[in-house]
């Protein structure tokens, strides 16, 4: 995915990383700051930026960028 991808940009903004360093497989294991507090910030940013809301079951599935993308698409987010 290109670095100007809206999901990569959102994640990069939350965690202060280069969007070009992200991949669909990126997760809390390899993104600095993606801990429980970082997840709260990420959820808030995604909900605001894409105009969606997540339930707890969806959030529990947020294991990597690719899964987040799938959930956002299911909610009709423009990616």
Tens of pLDDT, residue by residue over 10-65, are 999 999 999 999 999 999 999 999 999 999 999 999 999 999 999 999 999 999 99
Q: What is the pLDDT of residue 4?
A: 85
d(CA 17, CA 71): 22
CATH 3.10.310.70 corresponds to the domain 6-74: no
Higher pLDDT pick, 17 / 78: 17
DSSP string for 21-48: G--TT--TTTSTT-SHHHHHHHHHHHHH
Whether the predicted pLDDT of 3 surpasses 80: no
- CB within 8 Å of 57: residues ≥ 6 apart: none
Domain ranges of the chain: 6-74
Q: What is the pLDDT of residue 46?
A: 98
Q: What is the pLDDT of residue 1?
A: 64
d(CA 4, CA 63): 22
Query: Can you tell me the mean pLDDT for 5-13?
Result: 97
């Amino acid at each position: 995915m290109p670095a100007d991808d809206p999901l990569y940009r959102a994640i990069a903004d939350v965690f202060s990383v280069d969007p070009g360093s992200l991949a669909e497989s990126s997760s809390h294991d390899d993104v600095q700051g993606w801990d429980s507090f970082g997840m709260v910030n990420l959820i808030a940013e995604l909900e605001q930026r894409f105009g969606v809301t997540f339930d707890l079951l969806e959030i529990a599935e947020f294991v990597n960028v690719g899964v987040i993308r799938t959930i956002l698409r299911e909610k009709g987010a423009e990616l």
